[in-house]
Structure 1
C-alpha cells in the first residue's frame, strides 16, 4: 500500500490531534449557524412555538411569578416582539398594560407596536450605527484628540504641568475612537450624573454616608449628554469639568461602562464630517430617513431617545440585512471587542453580548453556542432591550415602563424569549434544511454519490454513504480516513456547516465539512478546536472540505459540487 511522506503524516496526525477535539462526546461545531436561516418560517411550525410562549408568559402574569422571577401586572406595562430578516412585520408580539397604568404609556390609546417608549442607552447603538453608516470604519484607531481640540488642549496643559501623572490625569491622546465605541477608553462613566454632591444637599445625609462635608468638595457644573432635566452642560462647561476627573483605567485595559464615550464619539463624527450638521441631524440623514423610520425622536447620543417596537424591529432587521452597511462591515461589527469576567458575556461596539448553549435538536444534551448581540437601556421609568441573533437572522425587542421591577422584568422577558425561541429556530432551520438539502446526490459518470441528512443530537447537515470515483471515502486507509489519517476504529463524524458565502446570481451556496474523531479528548487548550481544521488539506488549490450546493429559485438544492474532487453530483432526493 502506498504511504504518504513522513512529514505529511506528521502534519495529518497533528491536525487530527489538535483539531478534532470537543467538549464532550458530542460534536464540536464551528461558531456560527448550523443551518442556513429558514425563510418560510410560518410554514415550518413557528406558530406552535409562539403559542407555547404565550401560555408560559400568561401563566407568569396570572400567578405573578415563574422560575425566571416576579412579574408585576399592576405597575409595569410592556411590549415585546420577535422579528426576522425574512419578513418586514413582527413574527410575534405581546403587549401587557399594567392595571394601574392604563392609558399612561399610550396617552389614552391602545398599547401596540407603535406605542412610544423612552429607550435610554439603546441610543448608544444608534450612535455607533450612525458613525458606521456615515464614514464606515475610517478613523476608528485615531485618538480623540485629532477631532476634539479641547481634549488636545487638556493634554497639552498636563504636558507642561510637572505634577500631572497617569493616576490623576486622563491621557486623551491614548483614547481612540474605537476604545470609546467599545467601552475600552478607561475614562469616567459620567460627569455630574451620579455625583452625590450635585443632588444631595442635606449635610446630615452626607455625613451618614461617611463623606466629608459638602462645602469641602467641588460640585459638578452640569450634566452633559442628557435630555435636559439635569442642567445640560455647554460644551465649554463639559470640557472644563471633565478636566478635573481622573481616569478609571488605562485605555484598552478592561471594559468599563461609560456614557461619556458616546457623547465624545458623536462629537468626533461631527468633526470628521465637518458639514455643520449636529449629531441628531446626521442620525436622521444617515439612518432614520434611509430606513423610513419616523416615529421616534432624539435628544442625545448617550441615552435619550424615544422609539417604538415597529421602528426598533426595522432598525434591527436593517443591521442583519446590511441595508446601510457593506456586509463586510456588518460582519466585523457583530463581533466582540473584549471579554468580561463573565465567561458568557463579552462587549462590542456597543454590544452587550450574551452566549448561551442551545440544544442541537429538541431535547438533546448535545449543545452548541449561540451569541445574542444586545443593547439595554434604562432611563427614568423605562427599561428596554434590543437583541440580535445573527445565527438565525432574528431578534427580540423588549420595551417596559413602570415601577422599579421593570428592570428585572425586562431580564426575565429576555430569558424567556431566549429559552423558548432560540431552540425553536434551531429546530425550524433544521427542518428547512432537511427539505432543501437532504437527499442523495449522484454522478453516475464518475461513480460518485453522497447522502446528505440531518440526525438527532448532531449539529448541521450530515454526510453519509460517500463514494468518490468508486472509492468508499470512509473506508480504512482511503478517502477521508486516509487523508486525515483516521483509523478504521475511529468513530468518524462528518458534518456540514454553511460558510455564509452565497452567489445570488448563480444560486451557489458554500458549506465546509467538519471531520471529527468522536472519541478524541484533550485538555482545555483543545476542548473544541474545529475552527483550526478548516481548509487544512487541499488538492489542486481546492479544499477537501469545500462543498458547494447549487439552489433553484425556491432555495432547494439541485446539485452539489465537491471542489477538490472536481465532480458535481445531481440531487436525486
Structure 2
C-alpha cells in the first residue's frame, strides 16, 4: 500500500541511500531499488491531473436530432431570443452585459471538421434597428454578410506568414529585414529609451512579446483629441524640436496617407521607447502587427493584399473575404452602421493589424482549414497552437497571436483550452474561437455604434462557451460509449484474456473510458499485481489517431483521487500524470498503451493492450 507522501519520501530516500552506499550492490537491494522506482509515481499521486488534450475522440455529430450539441444550440438560441425580446422569464442567469444586445447587430456560427452541416445549421443572426434602417449596406444580416473583423486580422497575418515564410525567417532580427533600423539599434545606449531592434524578431512580434510600442499613433494619442488644451491636463506644450514627436510622420498632418509609406512608418516608430524588453511580458500591440505585415511584404516581394489572397483567401475559397472594402456596388452585402468612414477606410499599414473583412461562412472555412490541416501541415499546426507566454492570470496564456482561455468544467474540474482571437475597431467587434479538443469552433461578428458593443459580444461569447462546451463533452462521451464501450476478448483457443470498458457516469467522475475488468492470460490485472499497487491506471484517454491505418491510441491514467493538503506549487509536479507517462513498460512497450482498430464510422472492432501483446476482438455491439 502507498504510504503518506512525506513519510513515503523519507523511507524511499533512506532506502536509496542504503542501496547506493552499499558498494557490493547486492541483487536483493537492486531489486528493492527497482521496486521503489516503480512505486514512486504511484505512491506520490494523490491528485488527478490529466494529460493536456481531449478526454474522448472528437464528436462527429453536432446537428442531428439525436445530437446533444444540436439540443444545446437550440437552448442557446432560445436564450438569445429571450434577451432580444426583453423576456424576463428567460431561464438564463441575469447578465447585465447582455442588456444592450438589442442594439448590436451580430452573426454567430459554429463549425466542425467532422460535421460539415454544422456550418450551415448552427448559425444565429440578429439585425438591430440601427442596421435595419441604415442608408448604406445590408438591412438584414446572414452568414454571407460582410463585417470588418478588426484584430482577428492578426490571425490571418500570422497564418499567412506560416504559409509563406521560411522557418528561419521567424527568428531573424528586424535590423536584418529593415536596414534603416540598424543605426537606431547601434546608437542605442539606453534600454529604457529605445527598442532593441536587433533583438526583435518576427516571432516576437507575432507573439506580442517584442516590447514594441502599442501603436504608431493610437486613439489614445492626445494630440488627435479635438480642441485639446494639453495644459488643462497638466501637459506641457510640445517643442517643435522634441526628438520623439518631431520624428512621427502624421503629427500635425491631416493627410491619412502620410504614414502609408513604410519608410516613414518605420522612421516614426524607431525612436519611441519600448514597453518591455523583448520576450519579457506579452503586451498587446497593433504596431507590432503593422511591422509584421511589412515583414511579409518585404520578404515575399508581394503586396500585403497579394499575401492574403494567394496564401489564404483563394486556397480556402473565402470568396467574401478581402483586405480592402468591396467596391461600392457590393456594399449591399456588408453591414454598415453609423459613419460610413469606419467601413470604407483602406490603409495598407493597418491591414495586417486590423483591416480585413470577412463573413461567418468564410470564418468557418478558415476554422475548418486550420483544424483539418488543409494548408499548414499537422506538425506545424500543432506547434502554432501552443502558448508562447503566460499572463498574470492563471486562466489565460498568449500564443501567436492566440488569446488562450482555459475553461474548467464545474462537475469534473478538467480543463479545455480555447484558442481565440478577438477584435474591436470603429463600429465593429469580433471573436474567432477554435476548440482543438473537439475539432470544432465558432465565430461572432458584430456591428453597432453602441458603446456597449464590445462588452455585449464578450458576453455572447461567454454564453456560447458555457452552453456549448459541456454539450460537446457530453456528445463526445455519448459517441465514445457507442464506439468503444463493451467487452473485448481473445479469439485464441485456451487464452483467457479479456477487457471490459464502460463510460464514467457517476456524479463528479472524471471523463474517460473506465477499465471495468482486465484479464490477461488468466490474471486479473487490476487486482493481482501488488508490486504496482491497487491504484493501477484504469481510465483511458485518447492520445493519437491515425486515420490512414484506422488505429486510435489511448493512454491509461488514474481515476479520481481525493485531494491532498500536502500538494503545493512545487510538490504538485510529483502528482502530475505528464511526469509519469510511459513510466512502466514491459519489453519496451508501455503498460498504459491501448491501441484500437476502428472502422470507417469510428467504431472499435478490436483492441491491443500493447505491453500484454494480445489482440482482443470486440464481442458485443
Same structural fold, with TM-score higher than 0.5 when normalized by the shorter chain? yes
- Of the three residues 419, 427, 432, the one matched with 2:474 is 427
User: Which residue of structure 1 lines up, in the alignment, with residue 521 of structure 2?
Assistant: 469
TM-superposed deviation, 1:214: 4.4
Aligned with 1:547 (options 582, 594, 602): 594
Contact 1:44 1:432 in 2 (8 A): no
Q: Distance in 1 between the 2:267 and 2:166 partners?
A: 31
User: How do 1:191-340 and structure 2 match up within 5 A?
Assistant: 191-194=216-219, 196-200=221-225, 202=227, 204=229, 206-214=230-238, 218=245, 221-222=248-249, 231-273=258-300, 276-299=301-324, 300-340=351-391
Cα distance in 1 between the residues matched to 2:468 and 2:145? 24
Structure 2 unaligned segments of length 5 or more: list them.
Answer: 1-26, 325-350
Contact 1:441–1:569, Cα closer than 8 Å, also in 2: yes
Q: Is the 8 A contact 1:193 1:223 kept in 2?
A: no
The answer to whether the 8 Å contact 1:203/1:214 transfers is no
> Which stretch of structure 1 is more off in the superposition, 328-337 or 520-529?
520-529
Deviations 1:264-297 (A, max 9, x none): 2222223333xx3112201111111111112122
Distance change >3 Å, CA 91–CA 565, structure 1 → 2: farther
* 1:50/1:195 CA distance change after superposition, 3 Å: closer
| Conserved? CA contact 1:435–1:556, under 8 Å | yes
More helix per residue: 2
Worse-matched range after superposition: 39-48 or 428-437: 39-48
Alpha-carbon separation, structure 1, partners of 2:354 and 2:310: 19
Q: Quick one: distance in 1 between partners of 2:489 and 2:408?
A: 36
The corresponding residue for 1:395 is 441
Provide Cα deviations, 1:164-190, integer angstroms capped at 9, x if missing partner: 311111110111221111011011001
1:9 pairs with one of 13, 26, 35: 35
**What is the alpha-carbon root mean square deviation over aligned residues?**
2.4
| Structure 1 residues 399-444: Cα deviation after superposition (integer angstroms, max 9, x where no partner) | 1111111100110000000000000000000000100111111015
Residues 71/82 of structure 1: CA separation in 2 closer, same or farther (3 Å cut): farther
Report the Cα distance in structure 1 between the residues aligned to 2:318 and 2:563, rounded to whole angstroms: 52
**Which residue in the other structure is 1:362 paired with?**
none
Distance 1:370 1:105 in 2: 43
Q: Deviations over 1:513-567 (max 9, x none)?
A: 1135824734123445111121111111111111100011221100001111110
1:34 aligns with 2:55: yes
- The CA distance in 1 between the partners of 2:257 and 2:114, in whole Å, is 42
Q: What's the counterpart of residue 105 of structure 2?
A: 77
> Aligned partners of 2:94, 2:373: CA distance in 1, in Å?
37
Note the C-alpha offset of 1:236: 2.0
| Kept after mapping to 1: 8 A contact 2:195/2:212 | yes
- How far residue 136 of structure 1 moved from its aligned partner, in angstroms, is 5.6
1:27-77: CA deviation from partner (whole Å, max 9, x where unpaired): 432211000011133243332111111121112222289533233255321
1:505-544 alignment runs, 5 A limit: 505-516=548-559, 518-519=561-562, 521=564, 522-524=566-568, 525-527=570-572, 529-544=576-591
1:385 matched to 2:434? no
- Write the distance in 1 (CA, Å) between the matches of 2:584 and 2:394: 32
Measured after TM superposition, the shift of residue 115 of structure 1 is 0.6
The answer to whether the Cα contact below 8 Å between 1:184 and 1:255 also exists between their aligned partners in 2 is yes
Name the CA distance, whole Å, in 2 between partners of 1:121 and 1:571: 50
Match status 1:556 vs 2:603: yes
Which sits farther off after the overlay, 349-358 or 54-63? 54-63
Change (3 A) 1:222 1:76: farther
Query: Secondary structure, in 3 states, of the residue corresponding to 1:391?
Result: helix
Report the equivalent of 2:72.
49
User: Residue 105 of structure 1 contacts residue 401 of structure 1 at CA under 8 Å; is this kept in 2?
Assistant: no
CA–CA separation in structure 2 for the residues paired with 1:53 and 1:9: 54
Match of 2:22 in 1: none
Corresponding residue SS for 2:123: strand
Out of 397, 420, 426, the residue aligned to residue 374 of structure 1 is: 420
Deviations 1:233-276 (A, max 9, x none): 31221122112201111100111111121122222223333xx3
Under a length normalisation based on structure 1, what TM-score does the superposition of the two structures give? 0.89
- Tell me the distance in 2 between the aligned counterparts of 1:493 and 1:223: 64
Cα pair 1:124 1:262 within 8 Å, conserved: yes
Structure 1: stretches of 5+ with no match in the other structure: 360-364
Aligned residues of 2:204 and 2:278 also touching (Cα < 8 A): yes
Compared with structure 1, are the counterparts of its residues 104 and 374 closer, same or farther at alpha carbon in structure 2 (3 Å cutoff)?
Answer: farther
**Alignment correspondent of 2:204:** 179
Q: What's the CA shift for 1:232?
A: 3.4
Runs of 4+ more than 6 Å apart: none
The 1-side partners of 2:559 and 2:102 are apart by 54
**Structure 2 CA distance for aligned equivalents of residues 326 and 507 of structure 1:** 20
- Residues 296, 232 of structure 1: CA spacing in aligned structure 2 closer, same or farther, 3 A cutoff? farther
Q: Is the 2:184–2:271 Cα contact (8 Å) retained in structure 1? A: no
The within-5 A match list for 1:401-420 is: 401-402=447-448, 403-420=450-467
How far apart in 2 are the matches of 1:222 and 1:394? Answer: 44
Residue 125 of structure 1: aligned partner: 155
The equivalent of 2:5 in structure 1 is none
Alignment match, 1:137? 167
